[in-house]
Structure 1
């Protein structure tokens, strides 16, 4: 088990999400940066869907109640365990009673703590993810609080230290400014309802992520983008990544806790291979949208999958070498 000692902001238990409940109006939830969660679980020899802790704000402190392996992935981090510095994208070993102090997050927006075997909260509708909107999943359907005890599945996996190259390096987008995130999008259903000048404005603008952004959606600030004539639609299905344009012309990107339907016109959709980049974009930073064809979106998905497969291969080979040396 691990005990939460101090927490800042809405940290929560998340796995990769629930994807078979849309017909009941239940959204996906799940890690905002699924690449980082997968990487942490790969480092630990877990199932890649094992639940971890998503930490969007620091400081954050917890105590390990037994020996176990753990990993920190996602955002850049300044962290220590028992006075020893823990790098990001790194597997390490905690002993019973050790305190993990996560002090700062110099870059990125979300850190993931995974543990050997995974966080063992109950499955709800096929997932351990916390769904804030419905108040279910995770630990009592709410953000973590000081004093919370999280059970962990026992794991016999190797617990030696090991690190991997962060996704932000391997999957970096070219020509990106330090305070700007470029995300690829495909045009959506109501794109042709915007005139050519407005479409060009959407592509050329840098969009500021406002403080009103959260796991439900990222509300952006920039020049008003409005259709030729008001578009009124019945509520219909939407998914994470959809970019809607409300009447004020300021885009909203639907994120992992988004509702499953909405009526605002859709101008574009963030491709799945780049949604994790949005999840790691900090409040106050800027996004820029890059139009992408369907074939290019599939290629980006393949590139992301190849990165995950390389991590699996690297970790497996290192463990095999260690086993051979110890035998």
Structure 2
């Protein structure tokens, strides 16, 4: 019998993602990969996996997963409210997110809704036993490649597991929630900021923009004040010779509203790019929901690089700061043994 997690009920948009399909953009292949690399990295660390291991990226609402293996360790990261169903008539038992859990055959993990963000992650110890495509398990659903049959999960799918049983050891959890930062989204000007007027560039960094309903893994179209091109649109001000699209590139087509391109972005494009999101803030963009407001702020390349290095250092400290998590509904024996439970007890010897 194949060790697997079976999808009893599908979520809204759940796909397998790792850190991306690197090195093939010259062939027209998008990188795909996790929208929030921090969330996936933390989930993999909690499960005891290398950071590049593929996990399940949960979009808005997660699936119900039946355990079809003797035991499996899963880790959940993100603002989730998961629960465990231990039998057909048993009520769901709440579980914590931002930690690992040991699951047994026949149990159903209800991943649940994501509150206040658009993505969360589930990883399994040892990873999923699926063949990579171009060196990656990341799903690129527009082309139907990677992940599980190149698509989002559906009811009845059985995700094969690399391990037949969970590894030994304690469950672990984050010492505290990871701080993704707040305030404006940091950007670096260019590569075509000269295609926009001074007034247009000023509008971009001074105005408030909101995430539109046209937001997905490919990119986010923002609503707000129009950004003025340096040359009239009808004279080609919104067109360039197509060139490469990096992660976080911000295109501004003729309508004058910014589009930030994300994991499933195309490899080339013919609209001028006013700026590029600093990599430190790409995970924040991957968590935004329609209607949320953002501001953009320009930083120098050197500052953007320092911010990313600082973030990576904080991420490693967060992983080093994992703590032992007590079993759901159980007793934390480590904490119990640390308590002085017999202080003040008097021994009364009544007889020899």
**Same-fold call, TM > 0.5?**
yes
1:164-218 per-residue CA deviation (whole Å, 9 max, x = no partner) reads 1566x43423xx4xxxxx3111001221222222211101112111111111111
Aligned pairs for 1:71-110 within 5 A: 71-74=75-78, 76-82=79-85, 83-110=92-119
- The answer (yes or no) to whether the contact 1:92–1:159 under 8 Å persists in 2 is no
Which residue in 1 is equivalent to 2:131?
122
- The answer (yes or no) to whether the contact 1:44–1:157 under 8 Å persists in 2 is no
> C-alpha displacement at 1:57, in angstroms?
2.3
Which residue in 1 is equivalent to 2:73?
69
- The answer (yes or no) to whether the contact 2:39–2:77 under 8 Å persists in 1 is yes
1:119-176 per-residue CA deviation (whole Å, 9 max, x = no partner) reads 2221000100001122100011111100000011117534532211566x43423xx4
Q: TM-score, normalised by structure 2?
A: 0.84
- The answer (yes or no) to whether the contact 1:16–1:129 under 8 Å persists in 2 is yes
- Report the structure number with the largest CA radius of gyration: 2
Identify the match of residue 20 of structure 2 among 17, 22, 25: 17
Q: What is the rounded CA distance, in whole Å, between the counterparts of 1:206 and 1:87 in structure 2?
A: 35
- The answer (yes or no) to whether the contact 2:238–2:253 under 8 Å persists in 1 is no
1:198-247 per-residue CA deviation (whole Å, 9 max, x = no partner) reads 21110111211111111111111111112121142111111120000011
Q: What is the rounded CA distance, in whole Å, between the counterparts of 1:119 and 1:57 in structure 2?
A: 22
Which residue in 2 is equivalent to 1:164?
174
Check 1:231–1:172 CA distance in 2 against 1; reply closer, same or farther (3 A cut).
closer
- The answer (yes or no) to whether the contact 1:186–1:268 under 8 Å persists in 2 is yes
1:256-297 per-residue CA deviation (whole Å, 9 max, x = no partner) reads 001100010000101111101000011221221111111111
- The answer (yes or no) to whether the contact 1:226–1:247 under 8 Å persists in 2 is no
Q: Secondary structure at the match of 1:103?
A: coil
Q: TM-score, normalised by structure 1?
A: 0.90
Identify the match of residue 185 of structure 1 among 187, 200, 206: 187
- Point out where structure 2 has 5 or more consecutive residues left out of the alignment: 86-91, 232-236, 326-333, 338-352
Q: Secondary structure at the match of 1:104?
A: coil
Count of aligned pairs? 311
- The answer (yes or no) to whether the contact 2:81–2:112 under 8 Å persists in 1 is yes
- Point out where structure 1 has 5 or more consecutive residues left out of the alignment: 177-181
139-148 vs 156-165, which deviates more? Answer: 156-165
Which residue in 1 is equivalent to 2:153?
144
Structure in which a larger fraction of residues adopt helix: 1
Which residue in 2 is equivalent to 1:211?
213
Extract structure 1 runs of 4+ deviating beyond 4 A: none
Which residue in 2 is equivalent to 1:47?
50
Identify the match of residue 120 of structure 2 among 86, 111, 115: 111
Identify the match of residue 308 of structure 1 among 305, 309, 315: 315
